[in-house]
A and B are shown apart, each in its own frame.
Chain A
Amino acid sequence: MTIAELVTRAAGASSDPLVGLSADECLKCNVCTTVCPVARVTDLFPGPKYVGPQAQRFRLGTILAPGSGELSVVRSPDQSVDYCSGCGFCTTACPADVKIAEMNSRARAASRSSHRPRLRDWLLGQTDLTGRLGVLTAPLANRAFGNGLFRMLVDRVIRIDRRAPLPPFSRRTFRSRLGRHRRSAWSADAPSPERAVVYFHGCAANYYEPHVGQAAIDVLERNGFAVIVPPQVCCGLPLISNGLYRQARGRARTNLAVLAGYARAGYRIVGTSTSCTHTIKAEYREMLDIDDADARAVAEATWDICEFLLDLHEQGRLDTHFGTLDRTLPYHAPCQLRSHGIGLPALDLFELVPGLRAVDMDHDCCGIAGTYGLKSEKYEIAMAVGEPLFERVRQSGASQAACDSETCRWQIEKATGTSLRHPVEILAEAYAAGDREAIRADPPDAAAVSRSTRR
Chain B
Amino acid sequence: MARADVAVVGAGLAGLTAAIQLAEAGARVQVMATGHAATHWAPGGIDAGALPGSRTSLDAVERLARLEGHPYAFLADGLPDALAWLRSALGAEGLDLVGELTDPLRAIPTAIGSTRLAAILPDGMAAALPAWTAGETLVVCGPAGFRDFWPDAIAAGLRRPSTWRGHPRPARVEALTVELPGLAGRHNLSSLDLARFFDDPDWRATALEAIARALEGRPQEPGRIALPAVLGLHDHPAALAAARERLPLAPFEVALVPPSVPGLRLFAALRATLRRLGGRLQVGEAVHGVIGADGRVAELRAPAAAREFVLTAGAIVLATGGIAGGGIVAERAGSLVESVLGLPVDGPERGDWLLVDPFDPAGHPLEAAGIRTDVRLRPVAPGALERPLAENVRIAGSLLAGQRFLRQRCGDGVAIASGRLAALELRGSGSAPRSAAVVGAGREARS
Measured CB to CB, the residues of A under 8 A from B are 29-31, 33-35, 39-40, 43-44, 46-47, 50, 89, 91-97, 278, 281-282, 299-300, 302, 311, 313-314, 320, 333, 338-344, 347-348, 351-352, 357-360, 362, 364
Measured CB to CB, the residues of B under 8 A from A are 1-3, 34-37, 40-41, 186-188, 190, 192-193, 196, 258-259, 264, 275, 280, 282-286, 302-307, 309, 325-326, 435-441, 443-447
Most chain A beta-carbon contacts within 10 A, residue among B37, B275, B284, B309: B284
A40-B196, A314-B1, A333-B445 known; A95 and B37 CB under 8 Å?
yes
Closest-CB distance, A187 to chain B (whole angstroms): 25
Q: What DSSP secondary structure best describes chain B's contact surface?
A: loop
Pick from A33, A89, A362: contact of B441, CB under 8 Å? A362
Residues of B within 8 A of A333 (CB): 443, 445
Write 18 A-B pairs (CB below 8 A) sorted by A numbering: A31-B40, A35-B36, A39-B192, A44-B187, A47-B190, A95-B325, A97-B34, A300-B306, A338-B284, A339-B305, A339-B446, A340-B305, A341-B303, A341-B305, A342-B309, A343-B445, A351-B436, A352-B435
Closest-CB distance, A73 to chain B (whole angstroms): 25
With A and B bound together, what is the CA distance between A360 and B280 in angstroms?
A: 12
Pick from B2, B284, B302, B443: contact of A91, CB under 8 Å? B284
With A and B bound together, what is the CA distance between A360 and B440 in angstroms?
A: 9
Residues of B within 8 A of A40 (CB): 192, 196
CB atoms of B259 and A282 under 8 A apart: no
Residues of B within 8 A of A339 (CB): 284, 305, 446
A298 to chain B: closest residue by CB: B306
CB atoms of A282 and B306 under 8 A apart: yes
CB atoms of A342 and B445 under 8 A apart: yes
CB atoms of A34 and B2 under 8 A apart: no
Most chain A beta-carbon contacts within 10 A, residue among B35, B188, B275: B35
CB atoms of B264 and A343 under 8 A apart: no
With A and B bound together, what is the CA distance between A348 and B1 in angstroms?
A: 12
A34 to chain B: closest residue by CB: B259
A341 to chain B: closest residue by CB: B304
Residues of A within 8 A of B258 (CB): 29-31
Most chain A beta-carbon contacts within 10 A, residue among B2, B196, B445: B445
Pick from A31, A43, A278, A340: contact of B187, CB under 8 Å? A43
A29-B41, A29-B258 known; A341 and B284 CB under 8 Å?
yes
Closest-CB distance, A306 to chain B (whole angstroms): 12
The A/B interface has a contact count, at CB < 8 Å, of 132
With A and B bound together, what is the CA distance between A359 and B443 in angstroms?
A: 9
Pick from B193, B305, B445: contact of A282, CB under 8 Å? B305
With A and B bound together, what is the CA distance between A362 and B27 in angstroms?
A: 22
Residues of B within 8 A of A34 (CB): 36, 40, 192, 259, 264
CB atoms of A93 and B445 under 8 A apart: no
CB atoms of B303 and A351 under 8 A apart: no
Residues of A within 8 A of B303 (CB): 341
With A and B bound together, what is the CA distance between A39 and B259 in angstroms?
A: 14
Residues of B within 8 A of A282 (CB): 305-306
CB atoms of A357 and B284 under 8 A apart: no
Closest 7 CB pairs of A and B: A92-B284, A341-B304, A95-B35, A281-B306, A95-B37, A281-B305, A338-B446
Most chain A beta-carbon contacts within 10 A, residue among B34, B275, B326: B34
Pick from B36, B190, B280: contact of A343, CB under 8 Å? B280
Most chain A beta-carbon contacts within 10 A, residue among B40, B264, B286: B40
A282-B306, A343-B282 known; A93 and B443 CB under 8 Å?
no
CB atoms of A351 and B37 under 8 A apart: no
CB atoms of A95 and B439 under 8 A apart: no
A89-B447, A362-B444 known; A31 and B305 CB under 8 Å?
no
With A and B bound together, what is the CA distance between A438 and B286 in angstroms?
A: 46
A328 to chain B: closest residue by CB: B440
- Given contact pairs A47-B188, A313-B435, A339-B446, a sample of 13 additional A-B residue pairs in the complex whose CB atoms are under 8 Å apart: A29-B40, A40-B196, A46-B187, A92-B35, A93-B36, A95-B34, A95-B37, A282-B305, A340-B305, A344-B443, A357-B439, A359-B440, A362-B444
Pick from B285, B306, B443: contact of A302, CB under 8 Å? B306
Residues of B within 8 A of A342 (CB): 304-305, 309, 445
B186 to chain A: closest residue by CB: A43
With A and B bound together, what is the CA distance between A313 and B2 in angstroms?
A: 11
CB atoms of B447 and A93 under 8 A apart: yes
A28 to chain B: closest residue by CB: B258
Residues of A within 8 A of B196 (CB): 40
With A and B bound together, what is the CA distance between A43 and B37 in angstroms?
A: 25
CB atoms of A341 and B309 under 8 A apart: yes
A34-B192, A46-B188, A302-B306 known; A92 and B439 CB under 8 Å?
no
Residues of A within 8 A of B187 (CB): 43-44, 46
With A and B bound together, what is the CA distance between A347 and B442 in angstroms?
A: 10
CB atoms of A299 and B306 under 8 A apart: yes
CB atoms of A29 and B37 under 8 A apart: yes
Most chain B beta-carbon contacts within 10 A, residue among A46, A92, A341: A341
Residues of B within 8 A of A347 (CB): 443
With A and B bound together, what is the CA distance between A94 and B34 in angstroms?
A: 7
Residues of B within 8 A of A33 (CB): 190, 192, 259
Residues of B within 8 A of A311 (CB): 1
Closest-CB distance, B196 to chain A (whole angstroms): 7
Most chain A beta-carbon contacts within 10 A, residue among B264, B280, B304: B304
With A and B bound together, what is the CA distance between A340 and B264 in angstroms?
A: 25
With A and B bound together, what is the CA distance between A340 and B304 in angstroms?
A: 6
Residues of B within 8 A of A94 (CB): 35
With A and B bound together, what is the CA distance between A127 and B288 in angstroms?
A: 40
With A and B bound together, what is the CA distance between A40 and B440 in angstroms?
A: 28
Closest-CB distance, A18 to chain B (whole angstroms): 13
Residues of B within 8 A of A97 (CB): 34-35, 286
B306 to chain A: closest residue by CB: A281
B37 to chain A: closest residue by CB: A95
Residues of A within 8 A of B259 (CB): 29-31, 33-34
CB atoms of B36 and A31 under 8 A apart: yes
Residues of A within 8 A of B34 (CB): 95, 97
Closest-CB distance, A97 to chain B (whole angstroms): 7
A343-B282, A359-B441 known; A31 and B1 CB under 8 Å?
no
With A and B bound together, what is the CA distance between A81 and B132 in angstroms?
A: 48
Closest-CB distance, A125 to chain B (whole angstroms): 22
With A and B bound together, what is the CA distance between A362 and B188 in angstroms?
A: 27
CB atoms of A360 and B188 under 8 A apart: no
Residues of A within 8 A of B41 (CB): 29, 31
With A and B bound together, what is the CA distance between A352 and B437 in angstroms?
A: 9
Pick from B40, B304, B307, B443: contact of A362, CB under 8 Å? B443
Most chain A beta-carbon contacts within 10 A, residue among B1, B196, B259, B326: B259
A340 to chain B: closest residue by CB: B305
With A and B bound together, what is the CA distance between A80 and B258 in angstroms?
A: 23
B2 to chain A: closest residue by CB: A343
Residues of B within 8 A of A46 (CB): 187-188
